[in-house]
Amino acid sequence: MRRVSIAEIMTHTGLSRATVDRVLNRRGRVHHRTRELVEDTLKRLRAGSPDVPQLQPKADLVLRVGRGMMEQMRAAWDRAGASGTFHDMYQAKEAELVATIRSLGANTANALIITAKNTDRIADALREARRRGKRVIAILSDLAQDARDCFVGIDNRAAGRTAAFLVGRTLGDRPARVGVVLGDLAFRCHEDREIGFRTGLRANFPKVVIAGEALGEDNPALTRDAIARLLRDQPEIEAIYNVGGGNAGLVEALRRGGRRRGILLVGHEVNKVTIPLMTDGWMDYAIAADVDLILHEALRIAAGEGADGRRESTLLDFSVYTRFNLPVAAAADPGDAFPALASRGNAHG
């Protein structure tokens, strides 16, 4: 059997170098679908099989996310080698997104992979595209069931309950006041995370009370100002859960308020913004999934492999990170570490 390079496996799977390395060297947890894909590809390549599967589906990717996730997804998109167009809709207005969806909807040969707000106008545009025969795959944040064929991402309510568990267990069995940073509840993932967080606290830590909310709209400056107001109105807050983005602004508000050691901070994603915040001791926990795997699953579905029925969901694993268990590759190169360490910013902001 011939030697096979990591680069070859990356080419045929669309996965990042760090993810392939984790599988081959048994470094920590890897989703079972990822492990099976890498091991099967390695076996075929070693045997010189001419029919090694290479993912080259036709799809258009439309992302209304923050700069962090945008860069992560762009890097994953480049590695996947998909045929189609990448649409950076960072901070785009609803009208721009609707116009893009309608334009892409005319080409039914390409699937549409999208992260967007779950608004009536966007949902209507997606329904129209589906009526024309375009396959619509929601990733990261779900949409109305009849506006997409399937959803690929994590169980966001479970992620919110996980955040509640981290906050409750860390603060202990005593009365405490916490805050929540909301991005935009038109994103289903944000809504589900908040619901999960509230449910988790109410069921397991009734002494921990949500004392206030800050609406940051996944914008660092808006998040900074909203947190400053929240801390001014509720100075006794001991923990903050950020359901979305704007973490840099959140920490800036804590820094300006002299709250470096006084507040437990739980957020989402591990990337070029959150890694420094974690290693510097500002952010305590980050809940994150493998962006390469999310995109790979979406592209696999776009190519017609699995999840053929409507209203299906493909829920993938997520992990909890601290500054002590960041992926090994993060220390050397935050742009190529698992999960999704190729960005500046945070999920949706």
Give the CA distances from residue 121 to residues 94, 192, 308, 332, in Å, rounded to whole numbers and listed in that order: 8, 21, 25, 44
Token code pair at residue 4: 């096979």
Higher-confidence residue of 241 and 20: namely 241
pLDDT above 70: percentage of residues in the chain: 88
CA pair distance 271, 335, nearest whole angstrom: 8
At residue 322, the pLDDT reads 96
pLDDT bucket at 311, cuts 50 / 70 / 90: very low
pLDDT tens-place string over residues 331-341? 444 444 333 32
Give the CA distances from residue 67 to residues 225, 263, 298, 315, in Å, rounded to whole numbers and listed in that order: 19, 26, 20, 24
CA pair distance 39, 45, nearest whole angstrom: 10
At residue 30, the pLDDT reads 74
Segment 32-52 mean pLDDT:
77
How many Cα atoms sit within 13 Å of 314 on the Cβ side?
26
Segment 17-46 mean pLDDT:
81
pLDDT bucket at 318, cuts 50 / 70 / 90: very high
Give the CA distances from residue 175 to residues 206, 238, 247, 254, 284, in Å, rounded to whole numbers and listed in that order: 8, 10, 26, 22, 20
Segment 289-311 mean pLDDT:
75
Strands (E), 135-284: 136-139, 150-153, 176-182, 208-215, 239-242, 264-268
At residue 54, the pLDDT reads 57
Higher-confidence residue of 50 and 298: namely 298
pLDDT bucket at 85, cuts 50 / 70 / 90: very high
Q: Cα–Cα–Cα angle for 116, 285, 296, nearest 5°?
A: 40
At residue 335, the pLDDT reads 44
Higher-confidence residue of 259 and 171: namely 171
pTM for the model stands at 0.80
Mean pLDDT of all residues belonging to the chain: 86
Amino acid at 67: R
CA pair distance 179, 197, nearest whole angstrom: 11
**Strands 285-288 and 319-321, sheet pairing:** antiparallel
Higher-confidence residue of 192 and 1: namely 192
82 three-state secondary structure: coil
At residue 56, the pLDDT reads 66
At residue 52, the pLDDT reads 53
At residue 17, the pLDDT reads 77
